[in-house]
Amino acid sequence: MTLSNLTDTPFKDFVSAEQVDEKSALALINRAEDFKAGQTVHFPEPIYAANLFFENSTRTHTSFEMAERKLGMTVIPFDPAHSSVSKGETLEDTIKTIGAIGVNIAVMRHSKDGYYKELMGAWPTTAIVNAGDGAGQHPSQMMLDLMTIHEEFGHFDGLNIGIVGDLSHSRVARSDMQMLHKLGATLHFAGPQQWYDPSFDRYGDFISVPDLVKQVDVLMLLRVQLERFNADNREAFSKESYHAKYGITDALAKTMKPNAIFMHPAPVNRDVELASDLVDGPRSRIFTQMQNGVFMRMAMLEAVINARHFGEE
Ligand code: CP
């Protein structure tokens, strides 16, 4: 699929795995690989972006900003702590406001599941790109994960992919399992039973961590999200007990298939989800994921720009 076909896909906003089919996923991966290989793009008219991060972020925020700048977009600073949301302004009025001021693309992260449903179309010339909603979706992480797997193996069909850890709190797990299942991968899940939701059964099976580790090509670890826990969960695990029971120790890593890789959306709790030396070891693609994130976010933003005809004379 060429870039021009991408303009036919419904990326007027980019908010969820549900929007992405196999064809558009592969087109976005190809385009991100073009950007990684050094291709550039020029838009004749200015395009303005604002990054509205109501939850903390290192990777996604800086990566979107890098992608915007590499595409030649103008980034309008937005600091949630000093915005009028703190005075009670609604998110919808915030989008209408930045839209009226001239922002074309609002990249947003917010703790409310599905926040974007009320904001798409709030201002007709402002697109919403979801940088993570509560425990809902994280489409740009999903797409950079697909790119990293594709770069390694060249296909998805028939790959065995394991996702381990805090599945029920994880927007990354939710987006990735939906998309990888669509692309023909065989999925396995593991971790604490209380962090598994039976609704995930449609995408894969729930097995023990040692059984999963020895059969997968891609081992995706999820961060233990202490900030989303209630007191009961916090008391259930210490870092040490989690690592011993559900983490990837050096001994467990030795049981992996010869070409299997580790992935993690990060930030990593070193020596909790994964032994610290494995984070930097030869099987790790964790920093490759971050590098790929810039190029994939360029491809996603370009798809939105093209779908909306921004930047045209
Ligand atoms: N992977 C991820 O979303 O990281 P940040 O929270 O740092 O953006």
Closest residue by CA, ligand 1 atom 1:
265
Per-residue model confidence (pLDDT) at position 229:
65
Q: What is the mean pLDDT of residues 135-145?
A: 98
Identify residue 32 by its one-letter amino acid code.
Answer: A
Look up the CATH superfamily of 139-290.
Aspartate/ornithine carbamoyltransferase (3.40.50.1370)
Comparing 9-18, 108-117, 166-175, the range with the smallest average pLDDT is 9-18
Residue 222 banded pLDDT, cuts 50, 70, 90: very high
Count Cβ atoms within 10 A of the Cβ of residue 206 and give its class: 0-12 exposed, 13-18 middle, 19 or more buried.
Answer: middle
Residues 139, 172: Cα–Cα separation, whole Å: 8
Per-residue model confidence (pLDDT) at position 233:
67
Q: Where are the domain boundaries for CATH 3.40.50.1370 in the chain?
A: 3-134+293-308, 139-290
DSSP per-residue string spanning the chain = --HHHHTTSS-SSB--GGG--HHHHHHHHHHHHHHHTT-----SS--EEEEEESS--SHHHHHHHHHHHHTTPEEEP--GGGSGGGGT--HHHHHHHHHHHT-SEEEEEESSTTGGGGTTTSSTT-EEEEEEETTS--HHHHHHHHHHHHHHHS--TT-EEEEES-TTT-HHHHHHHHHHHHTT-EEEEES-GGG--GGGGGTEEE--HHHHHHH-SEEEE----GGG--HHHHHH--HHHHHHHHSB-HHHHTTS-TT-EEE--S---BTTTB-HHHHTSTTB-HHHHHHHHHHHHHHHHHHHHHHHTTT--
Side-chain-facing half-sphere of 185: CA atoms under 13 Å: 28
Residues 310, 43: Cα–Cα separation, whole Å: 8
Ligand 1 midpoint to CA 110 (Å): 12
Ligand 1 midpoint to CA 239 (Å): 20
Residues 205, 213: Cα–Cα separation, whole Å: 14
- State which ligand 1 atom lies nearest to the alpha carbon of 266: 1
Ligand 1 midpoint to CA 58 (Å): 6
Pocket test for ligand 1, best of 59, 63, 296 (most atoms within 8 A of CB): 59
- State which ligand 1 atom lies nearest to the alpha carbon of 63: 8
Query: Mean pLDDT over all residues of the chain?
Result: 94
- Topology of domain 3-134+293-308 in CATH is Rossmann fold (3.40.50)
Closest residue by CA, ligand 1 atom 6:
57
- Give yes or no for residue 60 CB within 6 A of ligand 1: yes
Residue 239 banded pLDDT, cuts 50, 70, 90: confident
pLDDT tens, residue by residue, 98-125: 999 999 999 999 999 999 999 999 999 9
User: Which residues partner with 52 through β-bridges?
Assistant: 108
- Give yes or no for residue 178 CB within 6 A of ligand 1: no
Closest residue by CA, ligand 1 atom 3:
60
- Give yes or no for residue 265 CB within 6 A of ligand 1: yes
Per-residue model confidence (pLDDT) at position 49:
98
- Give yes or no for residue 141 CB within 6 A of ligand 1: yes
Q: What is the mean pLDDT of residues 254-275?
A: 97
Closest residue by CA, ligand 1 atom 4:
59
